[in-house]
Chain A
Amino acid sequence: MSAISLNPPASGTESRGRILCVDDEPNILRALSWLLQKDFEVVTAAGGDEALALVRRDDFDVVISDQRMPGMSGVDLLREVKAIAPRAMRILLTGYADVQSVLRSVNESEIFRYVAKPWSVTELPKLVAQAAAIARRHPAGAPIAGDLPAPDGKGSILVLDGDPATHALVEVAAGDVAEIVHVSNVVDAVHCLIDREFSVLVAETHLGPSIEISRFICLLKQRHPRLVAVVLAEDSATDTVARLVNQGQIYRFIPKPAKAGYLRLALRSALVKAEQLHAQGELVKRHAVDALDTEEAARLEADLALAQSLVRVSPAPSDAPPPGNRLARAWRRFFGTGRA
């Protein structure tokens, strides 16, 4: 356990941050404070209401909350914290979360990290230290909520999706407030991002049955930190979303099928967020991401090359039916097949 002794004991005069831990399990709270008390000033709360009272009274750098608690859930608590104390970095620490609460943790609570229980005794203090440092050095910008200031129209959106319906939907939702560029494969997306800067990226996590690109979105986000990522995807598995949060700091995750009105709100808010990031450059630091490990990054590059060759050769699908089947198909259409 040399890693722990790497953390030098706090010098006593000044801790590296004030941390609020919230969980309904006293055992968990004790374990967290034992783990963190050497380096940080740790305050604990046994529930959402107690935590909110503390946040109102005191100033915290980081709030770590469990998701499942009687009374207020972690997601709800962190959303409130975001409004009351926007400077505090929010971390959701949970053993199990249903899809719905994971989505809300992204879209409503805008959490910094999603940490699974059991946590790593080496990683968690590092993460908290990072979060605390960010909170101290880079206070948050004005919260984006309620009546959105209309985006100034200089924004631009890059849409990466294989499904034409999504492109149409984005066009409907934000065609009037931003310039929209449509691409349907990773290669084009990379080229577009090299050529110019975009404010917002709208992307699907799957570009076909076998092309999963959530890691790629994370990679893009690391290369272009100022890009505000909105994921509009069919697959909203908990761990995919968690990865997109931790390694991609995505701004919104919208499960398909998305309603145009909701998408419109999300895109507007994303455009405003992009303007904010543009105006206050160091705000970007609040959205620092976990690096992909090198092996993964290398594999990604290889995939990219593969994708390139795939895209070039894909021919237009022919839709003329084989003539011999025509009669059989007409027969089936007239009588049905008797199979549901």
Chain B
Amino acid sequence: MQFRLVRYVTVTSLAFFLLAALAMVYFYRQVALTNMLHLQEAANVNVTRVFANTLWTARFVPFLAESDGLSSPELKNNSQIQEIHRTVLDLMRGGTTYKVKVYDRRGRTVYSSELAQIGEDKSGNSGFQGAMAGQTRTELVHKEKFSAFEQVVENRDLIQSYIPQYNGREIAGVFEVYSDVTPFLGEIAATEKKLVAGAAVAFGALYLALFLIVRRAEGIIVGQNRERDQAQQQLAQSEKMASLGQLVAGVAHQLNTPIAFSLSNVALAIASLNRMALPLRVAAHLAENVRRHPGVDSVRLNLNRSRGLITAVDCDDAEAALAARMLGDVQNGLEQMRELVENLRDFTRLDRAKVVGTDLNRALRTVIYIAKSAIPGRIQMVEDFTELPLLECNPSQLNQVFLNLINNAAQAIPYEGHIRVRSRVEGREIRVDVIDSGGGIPQDVMPHIFDTYFTTKAAGVGTGLGLPIARDIVRNHGGELRVTATSSLGTTFTVTLPLTSGGEPPPASRP
């Protein structure tokens, strides 16, 4: 299965873009909210300052002092409250402040713009405690329902600040101010939306660029792969052609020899026969003469007419014998050619597709005969066969296997040497060994010999397809091809083929 680069890039880059966009929005929101809190806190502090200026020293300081001794219900009904409340409302009108509360140092609500809350104890509130420790505490809260000073509002986002209030150096009380930031948050949300849209557009453009680049790259890679495959196919093809060419050259050479001497001999024999025409004519003439005079001891020759002819006779009886020997050699040559053609036919077996019962020894003999014409004469071929039962196989494929093995063996022998082909029956298997006296297979080469395109030979000599193809064919026959011995004295390749037709039949043909 091919790796889908474009898909991969699309999915991963979209995932990362999404992540990046989410992170951006998240950080924006954080920053915006923090900013808003700071801003609102400052605003609330200002509000407090305004209240403080107008109310603190004039009203709350004495009120706080007075309220100290009062109980909560008394506080609620205190006469000063109404007055303070009016002033507060005046100040709050028109602003974003929704509520103002004042606590005394014990955490009791001494005033709230929501009058019902006066007297409540808030000493446990962390905001209050923080303010008592001297810090201004601000937080964002969401209220489903909130009773502001003039009405009850719903579903608001509010900023709540606790602001300490000093009397000289010590904290005299705490202001709590609520202000409405719902519109702010709305703005933030709107900006967020814009941000998301912007990110989508930017990342979309980025993705488009990436997609174009990657698609082009993928096109190039696919093209390169296709070219490489084609090159390999061509190599395989040219290897086939090369080994075929070698075979054809060998066969041509083999044919050429009988052709050469036969042509020469036939020409000489014809010339010889032509020379014999005259003596034959003379002899026939004499014979005719003799026949015409039966029962006489001597005949007369009229030399006037035939002297010229008779003296022109210049050949001895050895000439006929010689011509016969020449033609005998020609016959011999024709016999050689017939043998070659027969072997060629056996080797290629036009019934390629068929699986037939085969005498493997005969196939081996054919392969050896063909191989002999292609391998150098210094290498001796030895047949070491024992009787074999017929084997159900595809003979032309097995021929290819044995030819490959014999060719390899021949190429491993640099000088004189021999190749022995041995056939045996072992249990329910036929075992064929191709044993050469070549240089052996080095240890570092051994693990790779069955790899496609692995070769130690020069370009043009070997393509490294011989053994992998051979092993394929043997395995398709349910057998195995392996190296059973190798040393500096030579190598043995062994083919085992099961006799039981238990396995599935070998495939009809190879591509």
Q: Tell me if A118 is interfacial: C-beta within 8 Å of chain B.
A: yes
Contact partner of B274 (CB less than 8 A), chosen from A1, A68, A118, A340, is A1
Q: Known interface pairs A5-B275, A96-B252, A338-B223. Does A27 touch B268 (Cβ–Cβ under 8 Å)? A: no
**Set of chain A residues within 8 Å of B325, measured between Cβ atoms:** 30
A interface SS class:
loop
Using CB atoms, name the residue of chain B closest to A25.
B257
A296 to B249, CA, bound (A): 30
Check B326 against A117 for contact (C-beta < 8 Å). no
Q: Tell me if B201 is interfacial: C-beta within 8 Å of chain A.
A: no
Check B326 against A34 for contact (C-beta < 8 Å). yes
Check A5 against B271 for contact (C-beta < 8 Å). yes
Check A34 against B268 for contact (C-beta < 8 Å). yes
| Binary contact track A1-31/B, C-beta < 8 Å → 1, others 0 | 1001100000000000000000011011011
Using CB atoms, name the residue of chain B closest to A7.
B271
Using CB atoms, name the residue of chain A closest to B329.
A27
Q: Known interface pairs A4-B268, A24-B377, A31-B265. Does A95 touch B220 (Cβ–Cβ under 8 Å)? A: no
Q: Tell me if A35 is interfacial: C-beta within 8 Å of chain B.
A: yes
Q: Count how many chain B residues have C-beta atoms less than 8 Å from C-beta atoms of the other chain.
A: 33
Q: Tell me if A291 is interfacial: C-beta within 8 Å of chain B.
A: no
Interface residues on A, range: 20 to 34
* Closest beta carbon of chain B to A6's beta carbon, Å: 10
Contact partner of B261 (CB less than 8 A), chosen from A24, A28, A70, is A28
* Closest beta carbon of chain B to A187's beta carbon, Å: 38
A1 to B277, CA, bound (A): 13
Q: In chain B, residues 189-241, which have Cβ atoms closer than 8 Å to a Cβ of chain A?
A: 220-221, 223-224, 227-228
Check B223 against A339 for contact (C-beta < 8 Å). yes
What are 21 A-B contacts defined by CB distance under 8 Å?
A1-B270, A1-B274, A4-B267, A4-B268, A25-B257, A27-B258, A27-B329, A30-B261, A30-B325, A31-B264, A31-B265, A31-B326, A68-B253, A68-B376, A68-B377, A70-B376, A95-B257, A96-B253, A117-B259, A118-B259, A339-B227
Q: Which 4 A-B pairs have the closest CB atoms?
A: A70-B377, A338-B220, A95-B256, A118-B260
B interface SS class:
helix
Using CB atoms, name the residue of chain B closest to A70.
B377
Contact partner of B268 (CB less than 8 A), chosen from A117, A118, A121, is A121
Q: Tell me if A331 is interfacial: C-beta within 8 Å of chain B.
A: no
Q: Tell me if A119 is interfacial: C-beta within 8 Å of chain B.
A: yes
Q: Known interface pairs A70-B378, A96-B252. Does A31 touch B270 (Cβ–Cβ under 8 Å)? A: no
* Closest beta carbon of chain A to B215's beta carbon, Å: 13
**Set of chain A residues within 8 Å of B223, measured between Cβ atoms:** 338-339
Q: Tell me if B312 is interfacial: C-beta within 8 Å of chain A.
A: no
Check A34 against B265 for contact (C-beta < 8 Å). yes
| Binary contact track A268-305/B, C-beta < 8 Å → 1, others 0 | 00000000000000000000000000000000000000
Check B264 against A121 for contact (C-beta < 8 Å). yes
Q: Tell me if B332 is interfacial: C-beta within 8 Å of chain A.
A: yes
Output the residue of A31, A70, A71 with the most chain B CB within 10 A. A31
| Binary contact track A93-135/B, C-beta < 8 Å → 1, others 0 | 0011000000000000000000001110100000000000000
Q: In chain B, residues 323-344, which have Cβ atoms closer than 8 Å to a Cβ of chain A?
A: 325-326, 329, 332-333
A293 to B128, CA, bound (A): 125
**Set of chain A residues within 8 Å of B274, measured between Cβ atoms:** 1, 5
Q: Tell me if B322 is interfacial: C-beta within 8 Å of chain A.
A: yes
Q: Tell me if B115 is interfacial: C-beta within 8 Å of chain A.
A: no
Q: Tell me if B263 is interfacial: C-beta within 8 Å of chain A.
A: yes
Check B227 against A340 for contact (C-beta < 8 Å). yes
Check B332 against A27 for contact (C-beta < 8 Å). yes
A69 to B333, CA, bound (A): 18
